[in-house]
Amino acid sequence: MNTKAHEDPDHSGSLRPPGVFLAFVREARPWLNAFLFSRGVNAVDIDDIAQDCMERLVRYRGCEADELFLLLNRIARNRMVDIRRSPRAQMECNRMQLNENIEDDRSIADPLRQAIARQELRILIKSLLTLSMCSREVYLLNRVVGMSYVQIARHRGVTPKTVEKQMSRALRDLRKALDAVAM
């Protein structure tokens, strides 16, 4: 490989001096840090995530600066999605407090609908609290967070079949609890 230039990743034969990419990285780093901070990433993780984004951008180093910015933007957004799907983020689901003090939903104008919705939500929360910790965690990870059985299994260190059984128990127990309230 030539030290003065490198090939474009699309193999079009155009050569770019490596200084163009390095200059872009230096200019884009403050923007990337601000972007990550605005998305709620804590200060400790910003540098790690920014470094990861820049590493992913290296494969596109032969592109123009405008294209690099668009690519960096897309890479950073994808990393944010990955982070929110990570096991660390999923653990926040375990810490979730099921608050029985339901706030009014001002977006629904009808007071009767508001009262019915609050009452149904209280019933659901009470029913969720009757589940075992394992069943409740599996149910919330699947139905609220949106994780698949395979992802939950990986997160909890069990087999997908175990997750399926726990979900089945959770649904059965919720059905019983909700039926008991309805009668």
Q: What is the pLDDT of residue 44?
A: 77
**Integer angstrom CA distances of residue 131 from 69, 99, 111, 120, 135:** 48, 16, 31, 17, 6
Low-confidence spans in the chain with pLDDT less than 50: 1-14, 93-105
pTM for the structure as a whole: 0.41
Say which residue the tokens 């200084």 belong to: 19
What DSSP line would sit under 75-138, residue for residue? HHHHHHHHHHHSHHHHHHHHT----S-PPP-TT---HHHHHHHHHHHHHHHHHHHHS-HHHHHH
Q: What is the pLDDT of residue 167?
A: 92
Q: What is the pLDDT of residue 99?
A: 44
Kindly tell me the sign of the dihedral angle through the C-alpha atoms of 56, 58, 59, 62. positive
